[in-house]
Every structure is written in C-alpha cells, then in structure tokens.
Structure 1
C-alpha cells in the first residue's frame, strides 16, 4: 500500500500555497497646500485669495477681484470706503509661482502700481500685500526695512529697462519718481501660502474648497439662559402643553413648571438639547454652509414624523418616543455629522417644533 505521504521529505504532507491578490490602496487625497499649489489655476487662486482677504482684520466695504488684462497690477482689492479706488484701499497681488517670489518680480509689480497711480488710475493703496506660495529670503529682508526698500526701488527706477517705465516721457517719469519718494514703503508686505491656508480655514468658504479636510474647531457649546429667549417661545410652549396635560392640577403656565420637580428637570434637559442643536446651527451658518443644518433637520424629520403621527396615550409619551426615534436617525454625510450626537438630535426635534412641524399634544388622546 502506498501512503499519501510517500515521496514527501520526512513523510510530511506539503501544504498548498495560497496566492493572495494584490492589495488595493486608495489614492491619498491632496492636502489643501497641494491642491492650491498643483491643482488650482491662476483664476481659481485669485478667487481663493479673495475668499481669504476678509480674515485680515480690516473692515472692508467690498472685496473684489480685478485681475486680468489692463488690471494695472491689481489682483484682489479690498476697499475700505465706498470711494473704492479713489479712497483708501488695499491691494493683494497674487503670485502662484512654483518657485520663490523674488525682488525682481516684486519690484516689477511695484513699478506697475506706481505708474498706474501716477497716471491717475487709482490712489496709492495704503497696504500692498504679495500673496505667494513661497518667498525668497532676500525679498523678505528687503521688505522688512521700508526705507532701504524705497531707496533700492528708486535706484533701480532710474536705470530699469522695464517697458512700463521706458515708454514714459520725462514728465511722466518724474511723477512716478515723486510718488514713490513720498510713499511709505512699510505698506509692502508678503504672506505665504501656509498662513493663507491657516486663516482661510476660519472662513465659510473652507468647506467648499476642501470638503475632505476636517475643520480645526467644531461648534462652540451654547448653554440655555435662565429664562427662555424669544426664539424658544414656540417649542417651550409645546412642552408646557405636555406638562399641563400630565399635571393638570399643578401646571397651567411656564412659571408653574418650577414647582414640579419632574417637569422642571425635563424642561431643563430639553432646553440643553435645543441649545446643543443651536450650537451646530450657528457653526454651520458661520463656518460651513447653512444648508447642512437644514439637511440634518430634514433627515431627522423624515424619520421621526412617522413616530409622531402614530397614536400615543398623551403628549408626554409622544415626545419621548420621538426623541428616542431621533437618536436612531442616520444623518447625511456632511462636515456636520461628527457633531450631530444624540443630544443634538433630540434638540433638533425642538427646532422642528419651533418650525411648527412637530406637535406633542393632540386632542382626544387622553
């Protein structure tokens, strides 16, 4: 008899090899810096800078792009008055070069601005910011010493071969020179991409630009004031109706809720939940897109309305059933989802009550 182990070293059975398929790896999403550097075109970069400009602390009357042919060196302008280019304004010069921005390029843009201002196209801006991916260290040093920067600029102005200057007649060149001599070169500065990205993150535009990147900060916690605010009136009244129904001999008004321990604790929990949802609403309004909170409300309403429409012994039971149901809702995948926990979902029910879309007490149920 021949053994199944015959012919194998040591008489041991050889195990079959399992060949695994190659592992698939998902491509990494580009970081914001990579997106701006490699995927944005010049126009989109200017729009990106325009979105960021309001973070700079100035109270601009208007921020607008002016880049293009004949822009006289203005890419993004921040106007501090309604006089716009005839009043005080700031210029943001956008340079999306893959290499360091140097003095040679910066000086050319300065000349363009002074030539246009001397010709009466606009007043000299009170602030002129170069926005670029990176800057040469030598340019940063020059701009950090305004008086030396002006001296260097004027020396080069007299010898430059820049056609913007060489085509001017003597009177026009004199006006440009005098304008530069009377300008405080402290108005020139540079801001690199790292700073722009960090500050752009605080704008409502961040999410649209980089939906896959988490925000640095979530909603700020809001707590209910001692007395309900005017925007709580409807949902609080809906709850008072519940307490009136449950404690007919003890509660008829909001003030009487304080005298019933169970009702008092219940109301406080609902108000805490309302403000938890309110914090997400405010966060969506200020840092993302208001429509995302509206989507959360719709997601929750679509499910809980079915529970609300069912027969319940009373408003207390209906509210409890709806609140439990809200905690099971799978909300749409948006930047808000990580912040929509059980308490926020319960609070959204009271936002829906405020919108008159959920009612707890119905006639004839008790």
Structure 2
C-alpha cells in the first residue's frame, strides 16, 4: 500500500448541490413573489424560538392583507406581542429606506385603526437583503423613526402622496412606538431554518445527500455490538449441540468466517445509520429498521424453522428481497445494508435467533 493511500481520508457524509444547480441563495433570486412568500412561511414553520416553534404560520400576502405578507403566531390567539410579521419584498436590488418607508405608512395606518394588534417583531425579508443605508437605520431605532418622519413630512422616498396621513395623532403614535421591533431577517437565517426540514430543503434546492465511507470493521467486537454477536454464538452452539463461547468460535474457521461476514453487514448498516444521523433531522434509520422488522417478522417466526441459524438465514433472505422505496434512505442503500439491519434489530433485542 502506498503512503498516499494510507493518508487518504475517508469520505464523509454530506449534502451536495446537483451538477447544474445553482446555490440556494442564488436560486431564491429567481422565484416569484408568491414563491418567495411561501418559502418564508416554510422557513418560519421550522424556526425554533428558545425551545418552541410558532403555533401557526400563514401566508396572507394578497389583496386585503393589510400589509401582512406572512403572519407567524406564538400562540393560537392573535394578541399584542404574540405574533411576528414577515414583510416579503422580492426585488432585484437590496432594500432601501425608499422601499421600507411606504410599508411603514401602511403598517402604522392599520395599527392606529386597530386592524391588528402590535406584533412582537416586524421583519424585512428580501432575497438580496437590506442595503447599507436601511441596515444602519434598523441598527439605530431612533434614527429610523427620525428618518421616516422627515421623509413623510418632506414627501420624499415615495411618501409624497401620503402626506395627509401624517396627522397629529399618527405622529404621536409613531413617536411612542418602539422601533426596536423592526429588524431584518437575512436570507442566511431563512435558509438555516428551512434546512431543518432536510427532505423539503433538498428537494427545493436540488441538493443530494452523498453517503461517505462506512466505518471500518474493528478487529475485535466492540461492547455496543455484543448483543447480536452473542446471539450468533448461541446459534453456533445450538448447531454444534455443544456450549461454546466467542473465543472458541474464533478458533473455528467456518464459524469465524460467518461471524466476520455478519459483522461486515452490521457495520455496513452502521454506516447507513450514521449517514441518516448526519443528514436527516428525523431518525430515518429507525424508520427503516421498523420497515425491515415488519417485512421479515412472518418469515423469521415460521414454525418450520427449527434452529437459530435457519431463522438467521430466513431473515437475511427476506430482508434482501424487501422493497423499501418508502424510506428516504433507499436511494443510498448498499449491498450489505439490509442484511445488516437484521443484526441491528437483534442488537436492539427486537429479534432473537435461538428460541
């Protein structure tokens, strides 16, 4: 073996963008206004606030939405400080104060009219994020308030036609309002939240899970695999009609070869288990194990099978013949995976070979 081969690092489990697919942040530049709103809503449904998630998330962006593109509630009732408003702006450029101020006019008009309660946060969401001027204003709430009132009174930044709406009552309301509620929600944040649903995220952005190298089979059985190994030793002892232990099995060429093959299959499935853990939020490997358990149970429990090795062989044959396309892992299955799941089921004490 060459030095280069010795130094080669094992390939790890990872997510990769399909060939010809643009990165997610770039792809979002190409979606429609409605698709942008739906993406924001999908991301919000995965967002964790402390240890909780939003109770409900709804796209309202349409005629009569009262300036609420996406409404995300922290509890069932729509109450003051109990919901967040996500304002979706899908423009070719970064957002400017001229984009934000008209939205503020609409927002404050509805608040003063009692159309909806005050939100906890008001987020600006744009594929190219906010520009430097609006960024600085959002970072300094007092300057944001001053800038809005100055533009409103001066009829600049697209507010000329709204001058009559700045009544004394409106100005007093704005001066009393906490402008720290206004924030930017960056694309990177939305993508991080959306990625929590890894299946939907990969499907939307053309991302494929790539399975790395399976773990190397240790020379000696490890403590965490001893349950299925000891069950195989019991099956060998039953076949011999004589008590035996692991040390004696390893001295027997036939049984040692069989045990080595079983351990190789176990570690193949262990590679699939680690891939599932690294890529998916939900325990997809556990779901696959349950599919295999149901698929082989009738065969393994046949009264015609008299010995542990017969039950073992029946389980392996049945597992290899299963169709598990309902599992998201099926496209990344390798030759030893399904036989290996049988040993994982025994290792979890969900099957035994010897009755």
Q: TM-score range by the shorter chain?
A: 0.5 to 0.7
TM-score, L = length of structure 1: 0.62
How far apart are the structure 1 equivalents of 2:178 and 2:137? 14
Cα deviation, residue 27, structure 1: 8.9
How far apart are the structure 1 equivalents of 2:248 and 2:332? 29
Cα deviation, residue 35, structure 1: 3.0
The residue aligned with 2:312 is 319
2:38 aligned residue (42, 47, 60): 47
1:125 aligned residue (111, 115, 119): 119
Change over 3 Å in CA distance of 1:175–1:49 after alignment to 2? same
* Residue 196 of structure 1 pairs with residue 190 of structure 2: yes
Structure 1: runs of 5+ lacking an equivalent? 1-25, 252-258
2:338 counterpart SS class: helix
Q: Deviations over 1:184-240 (max 9, x none)?
A: 222222234344335433334202312x3135999xx9xxx9789xxx9xx999879
The residue aligned with 1:89 is 83
Write out aligned runs for 1:56-135 (5 A).
56-58=47-49, 59=52, 60-134=54-128, 135=130
1:214 counterpart SS class: strand
* Residue 213 of structure 1 pairs with residue 204 of structure 2: no
For CA contacts below 8 A with separation 6 or more, give which structure has more relative contact order.
2
Cα deviation, residue 82, structure 1: 2.5
Cα deviation, residue 42, structure 1: 1.8
The residue aligned with 1:346 is 339
2:312 counterpart SS class: helix
Q: Deviations over 1:264-310 (max 9, x none)?
A: 9969958767765555566676269x6x986898799989x99999x
Change over 3 Å in CA distance of 1:316–1:145 after alignment to 2? same
1:105 counterpart SS class: helix
How far apart are the structure 2 equivalents of 1:237 and 1:103? 70
Q: Deviations over 1:44-75 (max 9, x none)?
A: 21111111124544232222222111112111
How far apart are the structure 2 equivalents of 1:318 and 1:361? 8
Q: Does the CA contact (< 8 Å) of 1:65 and 1:75 recur in 2?
A: yes
TM-score, L = length of structure 2: 0.64
How far apart are the structure 1 equivalents of 2:224 and 2:26? 49
How far apart are the structure 1 equivalents of 2:347 and 2:110? 57
1:146 aligned residue (135, 141, 145): 141
How far apart are the structure 1 equivalents of 2:187 and 2:321? 42
1:73 counterpart SS class: coil
1:123 counterpart SS class: coil
Change over 3 Å in CA distance of 1:260–1:197 after alignment to 2? same
Cα RMSD after superposing both structures? 5.1
1:202 counterpart SS class: coil
The residue aligned with 1:35 is 27
How far apart are the structure 1 equivalents of 2:305 and 2:203? 43
How far apart are the structure 1 equivalents of 2:146 and 2:32? 35
Task: Compare 88-97 and 341-350 and name the one that shifted more.
Answer: 341-350
Q: How many aligned positions are there?
A: 312
How far apart are the structure 2 equivalents of 1:42 and 1:157? 27
Structure 2: runs of 5+ lacking an equivalent? 1-17, 216-221, 251-255
